[in-house]
A and B are shown apart, each in its own frame.
Chain A
């Protein structure tokens, strides 16, 4: 599934690459919050990482894709305090607009992601939770260029992600507060 999403993203990017002003590659890391109070109690907020690639087209229009990972939290759950792990990853594609000023580029994105989530519980009564759910998300941030092609980014992203793999709906959504580095390469 992940491979097929990557292929789709690459196929989307390649045709428009001919119109590209420049390319960006970056890596972000930061805090990932969770909305659901039960999830928060058991697994807590965690870290997430987001490598991405983007094509910056004419007039600030941008399209890109990335892979979010890193939220893998251990905890104890239920009345027996049994060991458990929750892992969430996502493949994301986004489009946005960035406004280039001298040394600073603010931007906003909207995107669509496919998020995989897996819960394991070390319990004889545990059921398998290993599902995928797609959703839209929004993000905004700023890039600061201390050097010509190198930028430092700060971004806030919100992903709403309500899932019902079995009987109960759980909100796996939350904010990502990330910072990172990136490179821009022009023609």
Chain B
């Protein structure tokens, strides 16, 4: 018996997922490869480097952005003029999943729309052009030239309305903004505003209301989005008081704070208080010194990222160097203690964070059943689904949401949560004319939830008794 339990324990340990999550990803700019970091482990566990030699011309600037489903990372390559797509559904084994050559365009900052439909890439070479990529197929791109005369697109961000695109022009101290067009190939209603201090990077709050532009000359400009493609100066137009050149900026997941990495020796980490839409004040300047050193900073390269739970930030470096002291910094956001994440390379650059990808169940179906209680009938919608083979890590449970057929998605209400071994749910007690649409999601054991697989069509009428 003891042997059996011992074997069981051994098998359990072997079968346990070797990850904790969430994850970080860092692009090493001189060797041009990536490393992934399991931020849930103590200390964080580093994987890689991966894809050395497969991500284009080494030694230049590049940026990384994660698709909303955490399935892919997009990585720009400045000198190689390419955008690479990497399958990170298994962060311990990233796989190259295509690339797009963007002509003579110097691909630098990447922004992905929150709904994952399109990406916009700025030109670090100082042109007036943008690249739009439709992410539904990731096979081609559209080149868009700004209509604003003599302005440049050097950093880019997309609002949570999936429409507002905002660009930072370092050279002219402007932001440019507009709405994406219907084919995700350019902007409409393009306009611009003054942004003091030569903005290097730009970020939009999760609720889509506040825009912060990291001005290289020691300030952050504040703007407010008042509608799709409409931007006005913030009620606090700028935050001053920085002593290290702000290069990169990111909001906390709840949008109540923003974090700034400044270029220096070492680089520094400051935080801002978001008081409301377009209303931002200094929270703590140089709250932490980072484990990286640099003497230059680059347009749009995102070197700070906040973990999805908002507990930690990771920071890379504002420019590629091989300073042997450089490591990715892990900043505890409760006390602003920065520690080095061991085994990361020294030529680190852009970083991003993500939850491990969780995919919705497949082959969803809905069968209308009639349960005969003799004096009356109960109508039942029987939902069925199958586990998604794309999930690399164990699914712990499934959730079923319901809304009235034709109603807005915001009216979805959680109906049930079932164990991963259950691939069916009966929505009971319905009347004959009830018509519902359902959404079924997968959750892993950390509670990371996939997008929903919708089902609403009645495909079989079956009478039970």
Residues on A lying within 8 angstroms of B by beta carbon are 36, 38-39, 41-42, 77-80, 84, 119, 121, 123-127, 129, 163, 165-168, 170
- Tell me the complex Cα distance, A121–B429, Å: 13
Q: B372 on the interface (CB 8 Å rule)?
A: yes
Query: Do B375 and A168 touch (CB < 8 A)?
Result: yes
Instruction: Give the contacting residue for B376; candidates A79, A84, A124, A168; CB below 8 A.
Output: A168
Known: A78-B464, A79-B369, A79-B464. A38 touches B376 (CB 8 A): no
- Chain B 357-379, CB-CB to A under 8 Å as 1, else 0, gives 00000000000010111111110
Query: Do B375 and A170 touch (CB < 8 A)?
Result: yes
Q: B428 on the interface (CB 8 Å rule)?
A: yes
- Chain B 181-201, CB-CB to A under 8 Å as 1, else 0, gives 000000000000000000000
Q: B465 on the interface (CB 8 Å rule)?
A: yes
Known: A78-B464, A78-B465, A79-B464. A42 touches B374 (CB 8 A): yes
Known: A38-B465, A125-B378. A78 touches B373 (CB 8 A): yes
Residues of A within 8 A of B380 (CB): 79, 125
CB distance from B104 to the nearest CB of A (A): 66
- Tell me the complex Cα distance, A36–B464, Å: 17
Query: Nearest chain-B residue to A38 (Cβ)?
Result: B374
Known: A79-B369, A124-B428, A125-B429. A166 touches B375 (CB 8 A): yes
Besides A119-B373, A127-B376, A170-B375, 7 more A-B contacts (Cβ < 8 Å) are A38-B374, A78-B378, A78-B464, A119-B375, A126-B373, A129-B375, A170-B374
Residues of A within 8 A of B374 (CB): 36, 38-39, 42, 77, 119, 168, 170
Query: Do A167 and B429 touch (CB < 8 A)?
Result: no
Residues of B within 8 A of A119 (CB): 373-375
Residues of B within 8 A of A41 (CB): 465
24 intermolecular pairs with C-beta atoms under 8 Å apart? A41-B465, A42-B374, A77-B374, A78-B372, A84-B373, A119-B373, A119-B374, A119-B375, A123-B373, A124-B429, A125-B371, A125-B380, A125-B428, A125-B429, A126-B373, A127-B373, A127-B376, A129-B376, A163-B375, A167-B375, A167-B376, A168-B374, A168-B375, A170-B374
Query: Nearest chain-A residue to B431 (Cβ)?
Result: A167
Query: Do B378 and A165 touch (CB < 8 A)?
Result: no
Query: Nearest chain-A residue to B376 (Cβ)?
Result: A166
Query: Nearest chain-B residue to A84 (Cβ)?
Result: B373
**Count, A-B residue pairs, CB within 8 A:** 56
- Tell me the complex Cα distance, A127–B372, Å: 12
- Count residues of B near A (Cβ-Cβ below 8 Å): 14
Residues of A within 8 A of B372 (CB): 38, 77-78
Chain B interface main SS type: strand
- Chain B 414-450, CB-CB to A under 8 Å as 1, else 0, gives 0000000000000011000000000000000000000
- Tell me the complex Cα distance, A38–B464, Å: 12
- Tell me the complex Cα distance, A170–B372, Å: 12
Query: Nearest chain-A residue to B429 (Cβ)?
Result: A125
Residues of A within 8 A of B373 (CB): 77-78, 84, 119, 121, 123, 126-127
Instruction: Give the contacting residue for B375; candidates A79, A123, A165; CB below 8 A.
Output: A165
Query: Nearest chain-B residue to A126 (Cβ)?
Result: B373
- Tell me the complex Cα distance, A166–B374, Å: 10
CB distance from B374 to the nearest CB of A (A): 5
Query: Do A168 and B464 touch (CB < 8 A)?
Result: no
Query: Do A79 and B371 touch (CB < 8 A)?
Result: yes
- Tell me the complex Cα distance, A14–B428, Å: 54
Residues of A within 8 A of B369 (CB): 79
Most B CB within 10 A of own CB, among A121, A125, A127, A170 = A125
Most A CB within 10 A of own CB, among B371, B374, B380 = B374
CB distance from B121 to the nearest CB of A (A): 53
CB distance from A162 to the nearest CB of B (A): 12
CB distance from A182 to the nearest CB of B (A): 36
- Tell me the complex Cα distance, A41–B371, Å: 15
Residues of B within 8 A of A166 (CB): 375-376
- Tell me the complex Cα distance, A73–B188, Å: 74
CB distance from B311 to the nearest CB of A (A): 40
CB distance from B429 to the nearest CB of A (A): 4
Residues of A within 8 A of B376 (CB): 127, 129, 165-168
CB distance from B32 to the nearest CB of A (A): 59
Q: Report, nearest first, the 8 A-B pairs whose CB atoms are least far apart.
A: A79-B464, A125-B429, A166-B376, A78-B371, A125-B378, A125-B428, A38-B374, A129-B375
Query: Do A168 and B377 touch (CB < 8 A)?
Result: yes
Query: Nearest chain-A residue to B374 (Cβ)?
Result: A38
In chain B, positions 376-418 with a C-beta closer than 8 Å to chain A are: 376-378, 380
Most A CB within 10 A of own CB, among B372, B373, B380, B428 = B373
Residues of B within 8 A of A127 (CB): 373, 375-376
Query: Nearest chain-B residue to A39 (Cβ)?
Result: B374
CB distance from B376 to the nearest CB of A (A): 4
CB distance from A106 to the nearest CB of B (A): 37
